[in-house]
Amino acid sequence: MVEILECRTLVKLLVLCHLIFSVAVSKVEGRIRHYRWDVKYEYKSPDCFKKLVITINGGTPGPKILAQQGDTVVVELKNSLLTENVAIHWHGIRQIGTPWSDGTEGVTQCPILPGDTFIYKFVVDRAGSYLYHAHYGIQREAGLYGSIIVSVPNGVSEPFVYDYDRSIILNDWYHKSTFEQATGLSSIPFVWVGEPQSLLINGRGRFNCSLLATPSLEARVCNMTNPDCSPYILTVIPGKTYRLRIGSLTSLSALSFQIEGHKMTVVEADGHYVEPFEIQNLYIYSGETYSVLIKANQNPSRNYWMTTNVVSRKPATLTGLAILNYYPNYPKKSPPTLPTAGPLWNETAQRLAQSLSLKAHKNFTHTPPLTSDKVIVLLNTQNKIDGVYRWSLNNVSFSLPHTPYLVALKENVNLNRIFDQNPPPENYDFENYDIYGVAENVNATSSNGIYRLRFNSTVDVILQNANTMTVNNSETHPWHLHGHDFWVMGYGTGKFDIKKDVGKYNLVNPIMKNTVPVHPYGWTALRFRADNPGVWAFHCHIESHFYMGMGVVFEEGVEKVGKLPSSVMGCGETKGFHSP
Ligand code: C2O
Ligand code: CU
At the fourth CATH level, which superfamily is domain 159-364?
Cupredoxins -  blue copper proteins (2.60.40.420)
288: CA distance to ligand 2 center in Å?
14
CA distance 443 to 396: 9
- CATH class of the region 31-157: mainly beta
SS3 at position 20:
helix
Nearest CA to ligand 1 atom 1: 91
Ligand nearest to the CA of 131: 1
Ligand nearest to the CA of 382: 2
Contact 284, 258 (CB under 8 A): no
CA distance 88 to 176: 22
CB atoms within 10 A of CB 456: 11
476: CA distance to ligand 2 center in Å?
7
With a 6 A CB cut-off, is 269 part of the ligand 1 pocket? no
545: CA distance to ligand 1 center in Å?
12
> Per-domain residue ranges for the chain?
31-157, 159-364, 374-574
DSSP string, 289-342: EEEEEEE--S-TTS-EEEEEEEESS---SPPEEEEEEETTS-TTPPPSSPPPP-
With a 6 A CB cut-off, is 545 part of the ligand 1 pocket? no
CA distance 204 to 206: 7
Q: Which amino acid is at 446?
A: S
Q: Vertex 125, ends 124 and 126: CA angle to 5°?
A: 100
CA distance 184 to 1: 64
Handedness of CA 61, 195, 190, 537 (dihedral sign): negative
Give the position, in ligand 1's atom list, of the atom nearest the Cα of 91: 1
Residue 283 is classified by DSSP as E
What is the pLDDT tens value at each position of the chain, 580 positions in all? 333 333 344 334 444 444 444 444 444 578 999 999 999 999 999 999 999 999 999 999 999 999 999 999 999 999 999 999 999 999 999 999 999 999 999 999 999 999 999 999 999 999 999 999 999 999 999 999 999 999 999 999 999 999 999 999 999 999 999 999 999 999 999 999 999 999 999 999 999 999 998 778 888 899 999 999 999 999 999 999 999 999 999 999 999 999 999 999 999 999 999 999 999 999 999 999 999 999 999 999 999 999 999 999 999 999 999 999 999 999 999 999 999 889 999 999 999 999 999 999 999 999 999 999 999 999 999 999 998 999 999 999 999 999 999 999 999 778 999 999 999 998 788 889 999 999 887 789 999 999 999 999 999 999 999 999 999 999 999 999 999 999 999 999 999 999 999 999 999 999 999 999 999 999 999 999 999 999 999 999 999 999 999 999 999 999 999 999 999 999 998 775 554 4
540: CA distance to ligand 2 center in Å?
5
SS3 at position 26:
helix
With a 6 A CB cut-off, is 480 part of the ligand 1 pocket? yes
CA distance 306 to 236: 13
Give the position, in ligand 1's atom list, of the atom nearest the Cα of 482: 2
Q: Which amino acid is at 231?
A: P
31-157 shares its CATH topology with 374-574: yes
Contacts of 241 (CB under 8 A, 6+ apart): 161, 162, 163, 164, 293, 294, 295, 296
In the CATH scheme, what architecture does the domain 374-574 have?
Sandwich (2.60)
CA distance 412 to 219: 55
